[in-house]
Amino acid sequence: MSTTDRIRYGNLSAPGMKGLGGLPLPVFGAALLALVITLFLMVLAEWWIGLIAGVVCAALLAPAAIRVRDDRTLYGRAGLAVAGAHARRTGTNRLVAGPAGRTPDGTFRLPGIAAQSEVKDYETAFGLPFAIVAIPSTDHYSVVLEVHPTGNDVVDQEVIDGQVAQWGAWLTLLGQEDDIVGAAATVETSVDSGLRLRRSVLTPVHDGASDFGKAVAGVVSGGFGAKMPAISTRIVLTFTGKSDGKSRPRREMVEEIANRLPELMDGLASTGAGSHVRPSTSQDLTDYVRAAYDPSVAADIELARAGGGTGLSWTDAGPAFHQVEFDHYLHDRACSMVWTLGGVPRGVFYDTSLKRLLSPDKGVARKRVTLLYRPIPAARTSSMVDRKERNATMVSGAGRTNRSGNTAAARAAQQTADEEAAGAGLTLFGMIVTATVVNSGDDLSRATREDLRAARQMIRSQSAKARLKLRVALNSSDSAFVAGLPLGIVLPEHTRIPASVTDGLL
């Protein structure tokens, strides 16, 4: 099948409505208010008083409209700089945990927005064990599913197109569930220790086998697997315990999740997630998070899991040391750079657009790509789509600049309305990309700086090929790092302005 015959995906648009000139609606509304105040003062007071008021209002509003690097406003960029300087001056960007640290209970809890998280094991109605990650501050309960995608190297294009369609249908199904507030798909590449291959080769060797057979098995197991890339994929579902403004008891939430989980897992069978979908247990999540914060212990953790288990608890999963810098994040014996999606991707996409970004890379101990989804409830999609369409039509008809862009936005809004009327769902999405390299000390060594520079160039190149606008998480890489882990953290629920307020502007 040629490239022109393949299915293309697109019609992505930024959330929120715009005013004239492409200004965000709140900024446009403030500009109108400033204009009214200026005219009011000119008419009822002296003209020069109104002129001064207009100049002051323009000076205050301009930084909210002017975009600088990474599509951030001047206010946004200045706010990041001020917050980072304050954190470094007060020492809040640095954490030392454990018995000799600053944590009150002397444990190694996850830092920041995940500090209150709890993990416990439960069972479904069919006796299948699963773990729930609970965050009391947001009343969220998350389930992590381990999947094993088949890939698309030897799969017919028609099958791949069907899998993509089924994935979209599965996300649409989540929007029909009022208590599902988030989903995520995490693909992580790391360096394999080779332990699993050695065990799979040596375990079937019979005790009475010949010396030659044992020698061959030993050579094979010792020569393959080590230093090879390992790929793991996890899907997270996040439920809310709030219903009609009230919190439901945890026991009730656990019972409901246990009853619905098997059906949600069955829905992944035709999406390319593979035939083996397994919920993660608390021990699985603890070991995974511990290795994410300190990749140097990953081989030891894998060896312990192959034996009797690591014995780590959730309060042991966090870093013993972390320090947030302007554009990177030091944690234990590693250093990470984190990127977030900084704008609407341009152009059309194919099913292979993210293939290079998801592939392993040399020099990076761990690379993690997390796609974040927030399904819009089906009861709200119609009103949101209608508002978006009316706003796009108004801007395209009244705007005198960027006519082609406004017209394209109006066509996209019309297409979205048509697809929603045909039964399609509406989903907000984002992306977090994390590249982790090994670091030997509390400060960056020269080799680590070179690895970080190479990782930055690599991610920039890969995101450009995928037509993605990624920007570095400045002075907030610790929060972005933990949000990129498959723990079900819904970032808008952890902001000062809750998502219930900001979503009303969509």
- The answer, yes or no, to whether residue 489 has pLDDT greater than 90, is yes
Cβ 360 vs Cβ 411: under 8 Å: no
Q: What residues have CB less than 8 Å from 435, skipping those under 6 apart?
A: 336, 337, 364, 366, 367, 452, 455, 458, 459
Cβ 473 vs Cβ 480: under 8 Å: yes
Cβ 466 vs Cβ 357: under 8 Å: yes
More confident position, 309 or 339: 339
Report the C-alpha gap between 288 and 177 in whole angstroms. Answer: 29
Query: In this structure, which amino acid lies at residue 440?
Result: S
Query: In this structure, which amino acid lies at residue 427?
Result: T
pLDDT digits (tens, 9 = 90+) for 363-390: 788 999 999 999 887 777 777 777 776 7
Q: How confident is the model at residue 409 (pLDDT cuts 50, 70, 90)?
A: low
| pLDDT at res. 129 | 94
- What secondary structure does DSSP assign to 129-158, as a single string? EEEEEEETTTTEEEEEEEE----STTS-HH
Cβ 108 vs Cβ 317: under 8 Å: yes
| pLDDT at res. 16 | 67
Cβ 319 vs Cβ 294: under 8 Å: yes
pLDDT digits (tens, 9 = 90+) for 151-167: 777 788 888 889 888 99
| pLDDT at res. 402 | 55
pLDDT digits (tens, 9 = 90+) for 83-130: 888 888 888 889 899 888 877 888 999 998 999 999 999 998 888 999
Report the C-alpha gap between 406 and 13 in whole angstroms. Answer: 12
Q: H helices of 343-429, where?
A: 355-358, 378-398, 403-421
What mean pLDDT, rounded, does the chain reach?
83
pTM of the predicted protein model: 0.87
User: Residue 108's closest CA among 297, 289, 329?
Assistant: 289
Q: Which of 5-9, 457-461, 465-469 has the lowest mean pLDDT?
A: 5-9
CA distances from 41 to 54, 367, 386 (A): 9, 57, 38
CA distances from 266 to 170, 186, 275, 402 (A): 10, 19, 9, 47
| pLDDT at res. 240 | 92
pLDDT digits (tens, 9 = 90+) for 57-80: 888 888 887 777 777 888 888 888
CA distances from 45 to 42, 50, 73, 322 (A): 5, 7, 34, 57
